[in-house]
């Protein structure tokens, strides 16, 4: 059986991402072994319940990087509290910084995920 490929964010911009050799249009959620689409154009559209349901890896991570687009935008306050109650630290940054940070943490085999709004 083939091992899943570790996800590496190679580039971002122009409305999408290149992750481990594959192009992804729009926003994405990336974990060490999986990238999935995230139907969100702006942090202001975020619904906490739908987001947490989409993030299947909650029990497998202890850091969530939230890339909010070209600039840092605060998510709904309940998000941080909800994640903290699960033992997950929320780090909010622009999408470029979140991509770079994800790659560093993933290379260190840290239990992290990135929710990235495309720029």
Q: What is the 3-state secondary structure (H, E, C) of 37-52?
A: ECCCCCHHHCCHHHHH
Long-range interactions of 103-108: CB distance < 8 A, separation 24+: 103/8, 103/9, 105/63, 105/65, 106/6, 106/7, 106/8, 106/32
Summarised one tens digit per residue, pLDDT across range 29-53 is 999 999 999 988 888 788 777 777 7
Tell me if residue 96 falls in helix, strand or coil: helix
Rounded to the nearest angstrom, the gap between the alpha carbon of residue 24 and the centroid of all alpha carbons in its chain is: 13
pLDDT on residue 20: 96
Distance in angstroms (rounded) separating the CA atoms of residues 23 and 44: 25
Assess whether pLDDT exceeds 50 at residue 1.
no
Report the CATH number of the 9-116 domain: 3.40.1230.10
Contact 36, 28 (CB under 8 A): yes
| pTM of the predicted protein model | 0.91
Of the pLDDT bands very low, low, confident and very high (cuts 50, 70, 90), residue 57 is low
* Higher-confidence position of 79 and 90: 90
DSSP state of 118: -
């Amino acid at each position: 059986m083939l091992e899943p490929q570790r996800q590496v964010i190679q580039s971002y911009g122009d409305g999408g991402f290149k992750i481990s050799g594959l192009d992804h249009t729009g926003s994405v959620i990336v974990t060490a072994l999986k990238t999935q689409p995230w139907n969100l154009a702006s942090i202001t559209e975020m619904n906490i319940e739908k987001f947490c349901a989409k993030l299947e890896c909650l029990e497998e991570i202890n850091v969530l990087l939230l890339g909010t687009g070209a600039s840092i935008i605060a998510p709904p306050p309940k998000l941080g509290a909800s994640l903290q109650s699960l033992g997950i630290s929320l780090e909010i940054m622009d999408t470029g910084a979140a991509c770079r940070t994800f790659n560093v943490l993933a290379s260190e085999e840290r239990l992290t995920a990135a929710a990235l709004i495309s720029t």
